[in-house]
Amino acid sequence: MFRLIKSSLLVLFSACWLAYCGSAAAQTESKPAFISDALFVYLHSGPSNQYRIVGTINAGQSVTYLG
């Protein structure tokens, strides 16, 4: 039983490590981009609109696209 738990934890840790390494590599690739909308875009402090608005980006303004 202990051997099964130990091997399961090893597999789980390995999968999490690979996912972390893949996301870190994806974040290092950045491409220049531009806002092409006619309006402005709200810039939030987190990944959804539940987070605080920290600024706006106007049309034609240069941004860095991280993926």
CATH number at residue 35: 2.30.30
- Spatial distance between the Cα atoms of 43 and 55, rounded to a whole number of angstroms: 5
**Higher local confidence (pLDDT), 20 or 53:** 53
Per the structure, how many domains does the chain have? 1
**Which domain does 33 fall in, by range?**
2-65
pLDDT in tens, 8-19: 766 666 666 666
Rounded alpha-carbon distances, angstroms, from residue 41 to 3, 30, 35, 36, 53: 53, 20, 8, 10, 10
pLDDT (tens digit per residue) in 6-48 = 667 666 666 666 666 665 555 556 677 766 666 667 888 888 8
pLDDT at residue 61, as a whole number: 76
Q: What is the pLDDT of residue 16?
A: 63
Inter-residue contact 40 to 59 (CB < 8 Å): yes
